[in-house]
Amino acid sequence: MKAATIRDVAERAGVSVASVSRVLTGAGVVAEPTRSKVLEAVEALSYVPHSGARSLSTSRTDVIGVILPDLFGEFFSELIRGMDVACRAQGRHLIVSSSHDDAANAAAAIRSMRGRVDGLIVLSPHLDSGELTSSLSGRLPVLLMNGGDLDGQQPSMAVDNTGGARVAVEHLFSLGRRRIAHVGGPTGNLEARQRKQGYLDAVASAGAQPMLAQGEFTQASGFAAAARLLASDQRPDAIFAGNDAMAVGVLLAIQEAGLRCPEDIAVVGFDDVPIAELVRPGLTTLHIDIAGMGRRAVERLLTEIDDAAANSPQAANDAAREIIVPRLVVRQSCGASTSTQGFSGERP
């Protein structure tokens, strides 16, 4: 009743396991009669190689792991989709591990990946990210995303959050808004801090006063934060949200308060998740090619893995830090007088 092993196949074909292995892996040369006998036995037993066993002896699993803090929202789904595409293209599998709110938790997850993956993509928007990979991964190829660049020599990718935020806020100022508020993400989140910093920078150089509200990167928290802002005696005339999910919450809060966007209050988000184009008014936001980022991350990790396997002295450019520069996408919510852009309906 148990699944057939390579030995069963060898026996039935009247050859050695080595020969079976040879025809199945394609390595080495096999005489035609042998090959067909093997194939026949494989067919008869409907044999499928046990990848776990294979991994143990080749010490490569063909799977890469992704450690991420959460799985909520469109950002992560787009990211994973991009990674999956790249993996498939390379015959790899993707194993995901999420909901790692704190560093200790993430560390445990990383450890539990040993022997299960060939490399890791770690999204740790926590402050203590550097320590994570350096100390915890016993020489497992790792690609850091959106984390701190503590040692500077770890292969990594990151979005220029500060710069993006600055662009957003400057855009609002250029549109004549003066009282620009910011709904920030979780304080423990590095990206949230960077975006907030960009906001503060822009506000400072405009000689304006900052107005801050605290959110959690979720739609509901954006709604709540905006409600607080709107209730204040000095109501803002624009709100820059730390991400699109919160921006959508802000939009809803404005609506609920009987105010109009962009007339009364302009709104700008960050990320350009698919939904940003669909809400009314269309959300002005900073575009990131999220899926593309995921794809690219996998590709980089894969070359890192290959280099490690080839024992080449880690090609210099592997260790670089790649910066993704977000691009401002102007829709209706910021009140810019662009020609009213119709929806394309072109999203797949």
Residue 49 within binding range of DNA, rule CB under 7 A: yes
Q: Which is nearer to DNA, 15 or 334 (CB)?
A: 15
Contact pick of 95, 208, 212, 336 for a copy of itself (by CB under 8 A): 95
Contact pick of 11, 12, 57, 175 for DNA (by CB under 7 A): 57
In the complex, minimum distance from the CB of residue 26 to DNA, in angstroms, rounded to a whole number: 9
Q: Token pair of 20, please?
A: 């079976």
315 binds, among DNA, a copy of itself, none (CB under 5 to 8 A by kind): none
176 binds, among DNA, a copy of itself, none (CB under 5 to 8 A by kind): none
In the complex, minimum distance from the CB of residue 100 to DNA, in angstroms, rounded to a whole number: 23
In the complex, minimum distance from the CB of residue 104 to DNA, in angstroms, rounded to a whole number: 22
Residue 81 within binding range of a copy of itself, rule CB under 8 A: yes
The piece of 53-61, 138-146, 179-187, 335-343 that touches DNA (CB under 7 A) is 53-61
Residue 248 within binding range of a copy of itself, rule CB under 8 A: yes
Q: Summarize as ranges the residues that interact with a copy of itself (CB under 8 A).
A: 1-4, 46, 48-56, 61, 63, 71-72, 74, 76-77, 80-81, 84-85, 88, 93-99, 111-116, 135, 138-139, 218-220, 222-224, 248-249, 252-253, 255-256, 274-275, 278-280, 342-343, 345-348
List contacts with DNA (CB under 7 A): 2-3, 5-7, 14-22, 24-25, 27-31, 33-34, 47, 49-50, 53-54, 56-59, 115
